[in-house]
Structure formats: structure tokens, C-alpha cells
Amino acid sequence: MSALLSVADITVRFGGVEAVSNVSFDVQDGELLGFIGPNGAGKTTMMRVITGLVTPTLGSVCLEDRDLGGLAVFRRVQRGLGLAQQIVRPFNSFSALDNVALAAGQRHTARPMRALFSFRRARERAKAHELLKLVGIDHVADAMPPSLPLGYRKRLELARALALGPRLLLLDEPLAGLNQTEATALADTIADLNQRGLAMILIEHNLSEVMRICPRLVVQDNGRKIGDGPAESVMSDPLVRSAYLGTGESG
Amino acid sequence: MGYEITLATSMCISVVFALSLNLITGFCGQISLGHAAFFGVGAYTAALSSQAGLAFPLDLLAAAAAAAVFGFIVGLSSLRVRHDFLAITTMGFGFLFLGVVRQQDWLGGEMGISAIPGSGLSKLGYLGFVAAVAVAVALFSAYLKRSWLGFSFAAIADDEDTARVVALDVARYKLLAFVLGTAIAGIAGGLYAHHVRFISPDSFGFVESIAVLSMVIVGGIGSVPGVVFAALVLTALPLWFQVIEDYKLLLYSALLFIMMQLCEDGIGGLMRRLMQGRRRTT
Amino acid sequence: MLYLELLIQGLVQGGIYTLIALGLTLVYGLLRILHVAHAALFTLGGYLGVILTNATGSLALAMVLTMLVTGVVGMGVYRVAYQPILDKPPYVALIASIALFIASEEIYRLVFGPYGLSYDAPPLQGVIDLFGSGMYLKQAELLVLAGTGAALIGLHLLSTRTRIGIAWRATVTDPEMAASFGIRTQRVRYLNFFIGSALAAAAGVMVALLNNLVEPTMGSVPSYKALAIIVLGGIGSIRGTLIASLALGVIESFGTIYLGSLLDRDAIAFAFLILVLMWRPQGLLGRT
């Protein structure tokens, strides 16, 4: 059975620096994969290769056996890649509900001419309420994002990504900036979503939460993959431990 | 009575022109400082084609098409440049249009084109036609704003990069905004040509681009009723009070400046805030 | 021979553009605002230059006073027009600037009349024979070239040798870091506007000399072109501005001769701009 996402031999070089060196890994359908590594490991670059913001020097990324190479970000999203960014960017002039409803309306917005002739939003609004409820912020559906605390905006980012009905969701440091309680709660929500069958890649620094909810981890350090397997065994790997202890981080 | 009809016709043409820019700048957030050029393309196309025998109102379609082609080209270039450069690029296209027209004899050069055929309607009849077009464009704008196209435009105006993350083909949307907006501007230009029966490059310069942009901004970027209101008032005011004529530009620019300092989302924004305030107190 | 003359004419025009565009670049580099109203200060310089020269009989004195006064007015423009709206979306500052510019043209027209002013006894009208070659350069044109050179050298020295100049460069590169080092951003901004406006005023005085005329709309065409120049020259790059200005001056000079049947002189600048931007959207020397 072939993998949902197949990252093969990705190398990224710019300005004389090799940010990512020959990294390969797969993500299976329905899997929750943790993607970790110390600061400066090239994790963000790797993620940008998958989303299409960075073109790799070598290698390929395939979603459901179709090569994503050369496709713009929006096309990859149309193909089934969802994205919840590290620095959350909601549409500040839309309410939380409208943020999610727009994403839910992908069939209307896929082509501009189609969008001109589509008018009704009731269905997408209902879907948006459902998703906001799922992530626990339906009570602020009509609020404007600038008035919401960071934790809520992170959940909004998640709900909006879900509304696109992705096959694979990339979560870039969703727990960053949250306190312990908020982080645990959001991690629980993420795990719950995965239980419902959504495949995800979770990039995170918060190792305790990652260990708790991710069955499998891929570890990157200095652009190279140094670990790939069940969470427990990866974290007990001496190579991985020294990469982290070297920077003072611990689980 | 004749003077009032002429004034009313000018006002309606301004409404169409302002709403066309509102689509590009108001709905989709692309600042255009050269919109008068598309108005000009429409006017020249209508003038020349009707002189060549194309009947009114078919020449308006030709005007719209010509303006839309030019608009597509400008739209394509808008995709390449970042937003503050976009303003200058559109301004550049405006000057380029003028520069070319001024040098071409078949376009009338500096002297312009005169003896443009009328519409075949009486003055009152023409007013009725123009008013109908204005109403149609206003209704279309209002519909567009509530449609999924308007929803997408608003997202792009808010944050282009995030719009891509929610699967919007931003490039195509911007192009569509330019094509629709410039086509309507072309129609306005054609209507203008048949109204004044004489056109010259002087009517389609940078100041005219700023004037129509003022209508959009004073009206409130994106607000259809606001822009309609602003277009009507800003056109009528100097023509009503002839004494203002000499100070017209100064007043326009002072008004714009003060609005930018105090309420940059225009009349539409003011209304919106007033209504939200009232809702909160009930 | 013709080519050399065209080249020199182009460089003179380019020098004027440089003096105007430098002020624009300085503001854009610092605040990311397209300071369209800058041209109003250029025109103000022209008017003050004529009035003060006529009043005092000395061009040199008039030049100094004009630059000082206009520099201060420029600082006032920042305080009144831009400082209050710095945190609003970028189109607000742009529209406010355009509005201010149009208002200024109208004010000049209403105050000084639509037909302009001239020098009573125009200075520097003599011509110099360039190296005895039979090619003539007006003294005023020489002043432009000398003035541009002096301005550039002055700016270079200022930004590399003086504390405030270094502070300015730091603020342009990284405002937050500069502020955390204790650099007073306000001071840098005022200096920015002072210098830019003073240079524009100098350009205004020189253009008035070249044409022996100051009139209300003399700022519009150079201002649009200066905008095109800073876009071409890249984000806030002084070197880029200089190259783009000189290039534009020379291209216009040759272009008017060879393309004159297709485009008028002012459109050439924008045709050039659009072509370059399609090729390099970040400008001639901007970084991607």
C-alpha cells in the first residue's frame, strides 16, 4: 500500500548553505506523525518544501502518488494539503465564522467565474459552526480575530484548515506561545481529530505533548534525518538525545 | 431644464466610473492610480467606432472590450509587482496611454476627436439610458459583493498570502477584477464620449484618475452605496456651485487629506460604525 | 558630436532627477511611504529661490535660505501628514500624500498666480565652452552637475562619518534594533525629511534657473518620474536611485529623438519603468 505523502531525497541548497540534506520519509493515511528537531534543524525549510513555498534543489514530494513538484501553494491546497501556520494569520476583517466559511466554500472558490455565479452561504456557514464547535470556539463565532486571545486564534487557524477537507494536515508549531494548560488542551484536540481519521504532520518543539500524542516521530538535525520510528524508541536513541542535549532541550 | 439633464447625465456616468474602480480597488484591494486611462480607452473606442458606422449602443460593447483587453494587460503586470509598486505601475500605464494618444494623429493627437455622433436619443432619453446603466452596475456591484466572488476578493484584499492557503487562485482573481472593472470603466467612457461629443487627452489624465479614486475612498472602499453617494456629490458639487469651480481641486484634495487623517474608511465605514454602535446600545 | 551633446543634456536632466529622487528614496527607505507630496517642496524651492534672489540680489544667499526653509517645511509635512497615520494601511499615506501634493499645486496657483514668476535678473545665464570643443554648456547646467555631485558626496560623508548619519543607516536597516540601541527614531525621521526636502528645494532653484520660470505645476512631471525612478532603483537604495536617475535622463534624451513619433517624452519614462518592472519586479537594484 503506497503512502499518502511521500517525501523522497529532498535536498535544499541556497546561498552556499545546505539547509536540508537528502531527507526522505513517508506519511501513511490516517497517521499522526511528529516532526521534531532542535532549533536550526531545517524543519521549517522542509515544511516549506512540502507546502510549495520553497523549491527543493533535489528530490520530490508526492501526495497520493501525484508529484507536487512545481505546483503553487494554492494548487497543493486544492489537491488536499491543509496548512495551519506557525504565525497564525486569520483574515482580520472577517469574523471567525467567515474565516472558516470561506475555506469551507472551496467548491465555489476554485474558479473565479464559478464564484461569480455562486451566492448562497448557508451551507458553508453551518459547516463553519460545526468546525468551530469541534475545536471549541463556536461561542466566539461572530468575534473579529484581533479581539481573540492567541489560543483561540490558533484554534481558528486549525478550524479553517479543516474546512478545506484536507487529506493531510500540516500543523506548524500549533502549541507555540501557549501556556501548559492551553497547550495540553489543544494537543488533545489534535489527537482527537486524528482519531477521526485525519492524517497529520505535527511540527513541534513542545516535546512532552508530542511524545504524548504522536505514535511515530521523524527527527531532523542540521538538515539530516536522524530518527524515524515509534516515539519511544526514537527518543531513546542516543543520537537523538545528544542532538537535543547539545542544545539544552529535553522532553 | 436642459442644464439639469446634462448635469444628471454627468453624475450617472461618474457613478458607473466610480463603481468600476470600486471593484478593483474597493473589493479586491488593488490600488490603481491610472484608472482614467481605461475610461479613455472606452471613450476613444466608442468615438472612433461610432464614427466608422458602428451603431449605438453596440459601440459601448466595443468600448468595454477594448478597455478590458488593456485592463487584462495591466492586470497581468500587477501580478508581478508588490503592492506599493502596483500603484506606480498603474500610474505609469496611465501616462503611457496619454503619451501614445498624444502622438498618434489617427487618435486625434493633442487636439482630440470631435463631432462624435450622438446616441440617437433625446437628451432626456439619453439620461434615462445612462441612469439605467448606472442602476444596473450598482445592482451588479451589490450582488458581486455578496457572492462568493466578492467573498474571495475581500480575502485577497485582506491578506493575499493567506488567501492562497485557503486554496484561492489569487492571480486569476486579480485578473478577473481588473477585466471586470476596466470593462465597466470602458462603458462609462463610451457613455461619456456620446454625452460630450468631443474628447481629448486632457480629460483622461492623472488628476482624473485621482478624482475617481477619491470617490471610491470618500465613499468608503468597497461600500457600494457609499461610492454611489460620493460619486454623485463630488460630481455635482463643483458643477452646481460654479463659484467652487476655481477651488474645486483644492477642496477635493483637502477633503481627501482630512479623511485620510480622520476616517480612512470613508462614508461607508462611518455608516457601518454608526450602525454597529446603535446595535450595541439596544 | 550629437551623441555627446545628448549625453550631457541627459546627465543634466538626470542630475535634477537625482536631487529630487534622493529625497523620495530617503523617505521610502525609512518609512515605506511613497512621498508624492515631495514634489510640492521642489516647487516651493523654486518659488522661494526666485523670490529671495529677486529680493536680495544674491543667488547663493537665496539658495542657502531656500534649502533651510524648505527643509523645515519638509519636517513639518512629516509631522502633520505622516506621523499621525503611520500605523494605518499603506494606501492611506499614499492618498494623503497625493492629496497634499494636489492641494499644494492649487495653493501655489492661488497665491502666486497661474502664470508663474521669473527672475528679475537671471543669474548664471552665461555659457561655457566645454574644453574648447565648441560644445556649449550653460552655467546653470554646470551648477546642476556640480550640485548633484556635491549632494552625493555630502550624503555619503554624512552617512558614514557622522553619528547621526550612522544612526540613520541603522534605522533604515532595522528600526527595532536601532531603537533598542537607543537611537532616537524621531530625530532620524526629522533629519531624513529635512535633507530630502532641502535637496528637492535645491533642484527647484536650479530648474527655475534653467528655465527662468517657476510655475505651480512644475513639480508634477518630475514628481511622477521621481516615483518611477525610486521604483526602478530598488528599495531605498541611494546608489540605485542615482543610477536610475542618470539612466532615465539619458534615455529620455535619446528617446525623444528616436522614439518621439511613437511616444511623448514623459511617457518614455514610464514605458521604461514598465519594461524594467516586468523583467525585474524588484527594480533595477532591489533585492528579491
Domain ranges for chain C: 2-279
What is the C-alpha to C-alpha distance for residues C253 and C249, in angstroms, rounded to an integer? 6
Give the residue from chain B lying closest to C34, CA to CA. Answer: B84
Determine the Cα–Cα distance for residues B158 and B166; give it in Å rounded to an integer. Answer: 13
Determine which of A173-187, B109-123, B264-278 has the lowest per-residue pLDDT on average: B264-278
Q: List the chains bordering chain B where 3 or more Cβ pairs fall under 8 Å.
A: A, C
Residues of A in contact with B167 (CB under 8 A): 74, 77-78, 103, 106, 109-110, 164
Asked if C267 lies within 8 A of B100 by C-beta distance, the reply is yes
Judged by CB atoms closer than 8 Å, whether chains meet at B89 and C273 is answered as yes
Whether the pLDDT of residue B145 is over 50: the answer is yes
Domain extents in chain B: 2-205
Residue among B148, B165, B173 minimizing CB distance to A118: B148
Which amino acid does the sequence have at A57? T
* Count of CB pairs separated by less than 8 Å, A with B: 89
Give residue A117's pLDDT.
92
User: Grid cell 470618500 — which residue?
Assistant: B218
Q: What is the pTM of this model?
A: 0.87
- Please name the member of B148, B158, B172 whose beta carbon is closest to the beta carbon of A93: B158
Length of chain C measured in residues: 288
The residue of chain C with its CA nearest to that of B25 is C91
Q: Do chains C and A touch (3 or more CB pairs under 8 A)?
A: no
Residues A142 and A170 sit within 8 Å (Cβ to Cβ):
no
**A49 vs chain B: nearest CA distance in angstroms?**
14
Pick among 3.30.230.10, 1.10.3470.10, 1.10.3300.10, 1.20.120.1200: CATH of B2-205: 1.10.3470.10
Q: Residue B282: its pLDDT value, please? A: 44
- Partner C contacted by B260 (CB < 8 A): yes
Q: Do residues A170 and A84 make contact, with C-beta atoms less than 8 angstroms apart?
A: yes
Q: Is A22 helix (H, G, I), strand (E, B) or coil?
A: strand
Q: Choose from A73, A91, A121 for mutation: most chain B CBs within 10 A.
A: A91
Residues near C74 by Cβ (< 8 Å), separated by ≥ 6? C23, C41, C193, C194, C196, C197, C198, C200
CATH numbers and ranges of domains, chain A: 1-80+168-177+201-251 (3.40.50.300), 87-165 (no CATH)
- Residues linked to residue A200 through DSSP beta bridges, in sequence order: A32, A169
List phi, psi (to 5°) of A168. Answer: -140, 130
CA distance C162 to A163: 56
CA atoms within 13 A on the CB side of C204: 38
Task: Determine the pLDDT at residue A108.
Answer: 92
pLDDT of residue B280: 55
Rounded Cα distance between B18 and B52, Å, is: 29
C281 and B91 in contact by Cβ < 8 A? no
Of B267, B171, B221, which Cα lies nearest the Cα of B27?
B221
**Whole-angstrom distance, CA of residue C5 vs CA of residue C24:** 29
Grid cell 489560543 is found at A151
Chain A residue numbers touching B273 (CB-CB < 8 A) = none
The answer, for A86 touching chain B at a CB cutoff of 8 Å, is: no
Tell me the per-residue pLDDT of A219-237, one tens digit each, with 9 for 90 and over: 998 888 888 999 888 888 8
Candidates A198, A193, A64, A191; CA nearest to A134 is A193
ipTM, 2 dp: 0.89
Residue C90, Cβ neighbours under 10 Å: how many?
A: 15
User: With 60 as the cut, is the pLDDT of residue A249 above it?
Assistant: no
- Taking contacts as CB-CB distances below 8 angstroms, the residues of chain C near B250 are 102-103, 106-107, 110
Cα–Cα distance for residue pair A17/A146, rounded to 1 Å: 38
Residues of chain C contacting B217 with CB distance shorter than 8 Å: 95
Rounded distance, CA A117 to CA A124, Å?
16
pLDDT tens, residue order, chain C (288 aa):
678 888 888 888 899 999 999 888 888 888 888 898 999 999 999 999 999 988 888 888 999 999 999 999 999 999 999 999 988 887 889 889 999 999 999 999 999 988 888 888 777 777 776 666 666 778 888 888 888 889 888 888 887 888 877 887 787 777 777 777 777 788 888 988 999 999 999 999 999 888 888 988 888 888 888 888 888 886 667 788 888 888 888 888 888 888 777 777 778 888 888 888 888 777 666 655
Tell me C282's DSSP state. T
Give the span between the Cα atoms of B123 and B77, in whole angstroms: 40
Q: State how far the alpha carbon of B1 is from the alpha carbons of B5, B61, B123, B195, B239, in Å.
A: 6, 30, 10, 16, 15
- Which residue from B77, B96, B100 is facing C278, i.e. has the nearest CB? B77
| Rounded mean pLDDT, B150-167 | 93
> Residue B258's closest chain C neighbor by CA?
C96
C89 contact residues in B (CB cutoff 8 A): 264
Contact B231, B11 (CB under 8 A): yes
**Cβ burial A173-184 (10 Å sphere, 16+ → b, else e):** bbbbebeeebbb
Mean pLDDT of chain B: 89
Strand partners of residue A8: A60
Q: In chain B, whose CA is at the least distance from the CA of A88?
A: B162
According to the CATH classification, is domain C2-279 in 1.10.3470?
yes
pLDDT of residue C130: 66
Search chain B and give the residue with CA nearest A87: B162
DSSP-based three-state secondary structure for C256: helix
Kindly list the residues from chain A whose CB atom is less than 8 angstroms away from the CB atom of residue B172.
111-112
Do residue C34 and residue B95 have CB atoms under 8 angstroms apart? no
B77 interfacial to chain C (CB closer than 8 Å): yes
Backbone angles phi, psi at C42, to 5 degrees: -60, -50
Among C38, C27, C69, C71, CA closest to C194: C71
The residues, ordered by sequence, that sit 6+ positions from C140 with a Cβ below 8 Å of its Cβ are C124, C125, C206, C209, C210
Count of CA atoms in the C-beta half-sphere (13 A) of A213: 26
Q: What is the pLDDT of residue C187?
A: 84
Walk across the sheet containing A17-27 and list its strands: A17-27, A5-14, A58-63, A66-67
pLDDT tens digits for B174-227?
999 999 999 999 999 999 999 999 999 989 988 899 889 989 988 888 899 999
The minimum CA-CA distance between B112 and chain A, rounded to whole Å, is 37
For residue B240, the model assigns a pLDDT of 66
**Contact state of B99 with C260 under an 8 Å Cβ cutoff:** no
C210 in Cβ contact with C144 (< 8 Å): yes
What confidence tens digit (pLDDT) does each residue in B51-78 have?
888 888 899 999 999 999 999 999 988 8
